[in-house]
């Protein structure tokens, strides 16, 4: 651990790292809950909201300072709301000035339930309103952000369409500048700005320009109030009704950390989950909106010769085809988990000489964007490598005539490259395990539905060699659907009853996974030991 120094918090000595933001030292090391609106751990410090005020000892005694801007140094002495009435009084004043013209539309605001203004009112505010009913509220917004309400009163900034993804409710904005800093510093495309001065300041895009960026929905997360909301989630659910599981981005090899939020058997939104080593606090819009495809065009049962059958029948027909095969090509999937691919390897072992494993992908690999996408759409490519699965799909094309049976799971070969995949149509029996009615299912002689990425528990290895977990969200379109590993293990005759059995089988093949448990991987993942260390049992 970095060298620690001693600071004094409310008369108590606390060991903290030197030169970290005082707000982090208070929250993490002193365990003093310290409010913030403008501070965000993954953005630069702006120091404009003043809600994090504390008292700090200086040459003229204790004076106010903002905890988000100050850094820890030896001998620093701080008074927080725990020991200082003045801190409480000052923060109440900040809350009063922020709320004086803030609309009281929590009942219809999507941020209600996760709004820091609500939270800090309960924690630091609770002031009596001094607002005169005659004066009323003075809503904020520029001339072009105003409208006239049913009573003929000029109001400011309701439901401004900022672009394809986001609506701005200007009068809720507390001008913390987090959204501006996100666009400047993370997106590196300055599309938002604060215009006006003082209490007339307001958030806007540049004249005639929309907010349009592949990561722009992150501004709805950093917005501490309900000023910026995503069109995809507005008025869909009250946030306190949502339950969540922690998972990772299945569409990219970085595996950005996220939570899947669900209610009533349906996923309602995907939110970024902070992991400083992977995606900080950000996910791409394309990742965030993946949930919209979860319930669409699913393969919920099985198909044999183009006719719908139930799942049991589909599996039975697949088993008969496999046992009657003379030469079978088994195609691994970098879109599946370690457990799924370990089950495929178990099937290969069970079938012996007549089976051969193929791996790889025909999807194009792009460039990393430096935020939350690596550019490689094969999420578990490193996991397949770890299991010793070769990248040899093109060899399968050349040798297609050698096989009479093909088994593909969770891998839409015909969508990735229809021309190459067409050569696989020379293989007469094509067994496909898939979650969606995709182009590969259309070419299958037997297709069996399996659970989709959000519905399974398992491990993937990202492009940084970090093992990360997906967790199962209870939103199955057909409760009888099984994860791919269970169907494959059944075909292999393996008696695995849970994901961990499949994971243990993977550990037996990949020494670098040895010693890991789901608990040890945890919500933030675990970096694989280097091969030499793994061999030494470290």
Residues that bind ligand SF4 (CB under 6 A): 173-179, 203, 222-225, 227-228
Nearer to ligand SF4, 102 or 443 (CB): 102
225 counts as binding ligand FES under rule CB under 6 A = no
* CA gap 255, 368 in Å, rounded: 12
Least distance (Å) from ligand SF4 to the CB of residue 226? 8
State which of residues 7, 16, 22, 51 lies at the interface with ligand FES (CB under 6 A). 51
Query: Cβ–Cβ contacts within 10 Å for residue 498, how many?
Result: 12
User: In this structure, what token pair is assigned to residue 261?
Assistant: 């939020």
Least distance (Å) from ligand FES to the CB of residue 54? 10
Nearer to ligand SF4, 225 or 491 (CB): 225
Q: What stretch of H or E contains 518?
A: helix 518-521
Least distance (Å) from ligand SF4 to the CB of residue 497? 48
| Residue 163, binding choice from ligand FES, ligand SF4, none, Cβ under 5 to 8 Å by partner class | none
Least distance (Å) from ligand FES to the CB of residue 51? 6
| Residue 52, binding choice from ligand SF4, ligand FES, none, Cβ under 5 to 8 Å by partner class | ligand FES
210 counts as binding ligand FES under rule CB under 6 A = no
State which of residues 30, 54, 68, 456 lies at the interface with ligand FES (CB under 6 A). 68
Window 445 to 504, contacts with ligand FES (CB under 6 A): none
416 counts as binding ligand FES under rule CB under 6 A = no
168 counts as binding ligand FES under rule CB under 6 A = no
Buried b (16+ CB within 10 A) or exposed e, 263-273: beeebbbbbbb
Q: Which of 165, 150, 282 is nearest to 213 (CA)?
A: 165
State which of residues 14, 16, 32, 36 lies at the interface with ligand FES (CB under 6 A). 36
| Number of chain residues interacting with ligand FES (CB under 6 A) | 12
* CA gap 134, 414 in Å, rounded: 68
Least distance (Å) from ligand FES to the CB of residue 196? 20
Backbone angles phi, psi at 361, to 5 degrees: -155, 150
User: In this structure, what token pair is assigned to residue 439?
Assistant: 């182009």
Q: Which of 87, 116, 115, 117 is nearest to 101 (CA)?
A: 117
Least distance (Å) from ligand SF4 to the CB of residue 204? 10
Give the x-and-dash track for 386-405 against ligand FES (CB under 6 A). --------------------
27 counts as binding ligand FES under rule CB under 6 A = no
H-state helical runs in 84-237: 85-99, 116-120, 178-181, 218-222
SS3 415: helix
* CA gap 294, 436 in Å, rounded: 9
Nearer to ligand SF4, 175 or 342 (CB): 175
* CA gap 386, 380 in Å, rounded: 10
Nearer to ligand SF4, 65 or 141 (CB): 141
49 counts as binding ligand FES under rule CB under 6 A = yes
| Residue 494, binding choice from ligand FES, ligand SF4, none, Cβ under 5 to 8 Å by partner class | none
Choose the stretch contacting ligand FES; rule: CB under 6 A; options: 33-41, 97-105, 221-229, 378-386: 33-41
Going by their DSSP bridges, the two strands 429-434 and 446-449 should be labelled as parallel
CA 506, distance to chain mean position in Å, is 26
Q: Are the CB atoms for 351 and 322 separated by under 8 Å?
A: yes
25 counts as binding ligand FES under rule CB under 6 A = no
* CA gap 71, 175 in Å, rounded: 24
Nearer to ligand SF4, 173 or 393 (CB): 173
CA dihedral 371, 233, 246, 21 (to 10 degrees): 50
| Residue 223, binding choice from ligand FES, ligand SF4, none, Cβ under 5 to 8 Å by partner class | ligand SF4
Least distance (Å) from ligand SF4 to the CB of residue 182? 8
| Residue 36, binding choice from ligand FES, ligand SF4, none, Cβ under 5 to 8 Å by partner class | ligand FES
| Residue 175, binding choice from ligand SF4, ligand FES, none, Cβ under 5 to 8 Å by partner class | ligand SF4
Nearer to ligand SF4, 229 or 462 (CB): 229
Nearer to ligand FES, 37 or 121 (CB): 37
User: In this structure, what token pair is assigned to residue 185?
Assistant: 């510093």
Residues linked to residue 270 through DSSP beta bridges, in sequence order: 260
In sequence order, the 6+-apart residues with CB closer than 8 A to the CB of 14 are 6, 7, 8, 25, 29, 30
Nearer to ligand SF4, 162 or 373 (CB): 162
Least distance (Å) from ligand SF4 to the CB of residue 268? 22
Choose the stretch contacting ligand FES; rule: CB under 6 A; options: 4-12, 41-49, 194-202, 362-370: 41-49
Q: Which of 95, 76, 64, 87 is nearest to 22 (CA)?
A: 76
Nearer to ligand FES, 178 or 381 (CB): 178
311-324 helix and 484-492 helix, angle to the nearest 10 degrees: 40
Instruction: Count Cβ atoms within 10 A of the Cβ of residue 339 and give its class: 0-12 exposed, 13-18 middle, 19 or more buried.
Output: buried
Which spans of this chain sit near ligand FES (rule: CB under 6 A)?
A: 36-39, 47-52, 66, 68
């Amino acid at each position: 651990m970095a060298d620690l120094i001693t600071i004094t918090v409310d008369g108590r000595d606390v060991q903290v790292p030197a030169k970290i933001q005082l707000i982090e030292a208070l929250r993490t090391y002193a365990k003093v809950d310290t409010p913030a609106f403008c501070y965000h751990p993954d953005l630069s410090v702006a120091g404009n909201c003043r809600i994090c005020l504390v008292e700090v000892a200086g040459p003229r005694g204790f004076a106010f300072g903002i905890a988000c801007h100050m850094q820890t140094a030896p001998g620093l002495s701080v008074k927080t709301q725990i020991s200082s009435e003045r801190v409480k009084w000052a923060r109440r004043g900040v809350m009063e000035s922020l709320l004086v013209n803030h609309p009281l539309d929590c009942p219809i605001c999507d941020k209600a339930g996760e709004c820091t203004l609500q939270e800090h009112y309960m924690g630091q505010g609770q002031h009596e309103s001094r607002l005169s009913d005659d004066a009323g509220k003075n809503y904020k917004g520029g001339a072009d952000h105003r409208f006239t309400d049913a009573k003929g009163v000029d109001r400011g900034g309701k439901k401004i369409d900022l672009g394809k993804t986001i609506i701005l409710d200007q009068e809720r904005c507390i001008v913390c500048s987090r959204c501006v800093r996100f666009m400047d510093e993370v997106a590196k495309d300055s599309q938002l700005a604060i215009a006006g001065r003082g209490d007339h300041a307001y958030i806007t895009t540049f004249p005639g320009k929309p907010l349009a960026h592949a990561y722009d929905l992150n501004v709805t997360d950093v917005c501490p109030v309900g000023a910026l909301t995503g069109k995809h989630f507005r008025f869909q659910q009250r946030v306190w009704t949502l339950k969540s599981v922690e998972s990772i981005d299945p569409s990219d090899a970085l595996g950005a950390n996220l939570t899947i939020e669900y209610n009533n058997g349906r996923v309602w939104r995907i939110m970024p989950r902070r992991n400083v080593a992977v995606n900080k606090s950000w996910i791409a819009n394309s990742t965030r909106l993946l949930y919209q495809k979860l319930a669409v065009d699913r393969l919920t049962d099985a198909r044999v010769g183009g006719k719908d059958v139930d799942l049991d029948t589909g599996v039975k027909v697949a088993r008969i085809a496999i046992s009657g095969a003379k030469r079978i090509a088994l195609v691994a999937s970098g879109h599946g988990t370690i457990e799924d691919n370990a089950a495929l390897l178990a099937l290969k072992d069970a079938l012996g000489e007549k089976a051969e494993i193929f791996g790889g992908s025909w999807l194009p690999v792009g460039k990393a964007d430096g935020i939350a996408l690596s550019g490689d759409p094969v999420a578990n490519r490193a996991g397949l490598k770890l299991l010793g699965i070769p990248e040899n799909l093109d060899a399968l094309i050349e040798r297609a005539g050698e096989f009479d049976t093909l088994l593909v799971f969770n891998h839409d070969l015909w969508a990735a490259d229809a021309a190459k995949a067409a050569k696989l149509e020379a293989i007469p029996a094509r067994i496909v395990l898939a979650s969606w009615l995709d182009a590969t299912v259309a070419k299958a002689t037997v297709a069996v539905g399996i659970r989709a990425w959000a519905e399974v528990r398992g491990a993937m290895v990202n492009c940084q060699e970090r093992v990360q977990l997906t967790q199962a969200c209870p939103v199955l379109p057909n409760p009888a659907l099984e994860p791919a590993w269970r169907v494959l293990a059944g075909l292999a005759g393996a008696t695995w009853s849970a994901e961990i059995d499949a994971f243990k089988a993977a550990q037996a093949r990949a020494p670098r996974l040895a010693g890991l448990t789901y608990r040890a991987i945890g919500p933030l993942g675990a970096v694989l030991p280097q091969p030499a260390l793994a061999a030494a049992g470290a």
